[in-house]
Amino acid sequence: MKKIILILSLLLVLVLSISFSYANEQDTRPGLNVEVREDWHQEKIDWKRKRIDEALDDGIINEDQARTWNEHFDYMEDFHDENGFMPGGCHGYRKGMRRGMMRTHGWNR
């Protein structure tokens, strides 16, 4: 009986220590670093500017709207240059508000 209690207690300690070490691991994605994120953000901004120019050429928006959008993109570039990329957007990869109650992101409520 004492052997069974000893084995079960050692097994419990092992399981708990594994869960704590897993919870303490880094929350980084492999292959995703600051340079990759900055390049991706610059490509995204360039793509958006190109779409604005196309919409202006097609007559979907006017000059004032295009200027407003380009000012917004300039502001966003300055903002990210000054503040970097902060975690927590869109409840991404174990950051932000976490998954919440019932393991959802609050969709379909």
pLDDT, one tens digit per residue, over 19-74 is: 777 666 655 566 667 777 788 888 999 999 999 999 999 999 999 999 999 999 99
Amino acid (one-letter) located at 54: E
Q: What is the DSSP letter of 109?
A: -
Q: Does the reported pTM lie above 0.85? A: no
Other C-beta atoms lying within 10 Å of the C-beta of residue 66: 17
Q: Which residue has the higher pLDDT, 36 or 13?
A: 13
CA distance 34 to 76: 17
Report the candidate in 63, 68, 41, 76 with the shortest Cα–Cα distance to residue 55: 63
Q: Which backbone phi and psi does 70 adopt, to 5 degrees? A: -65, -35
Please report where in the chains the tokens 């708990």 appear, as a residue: 16
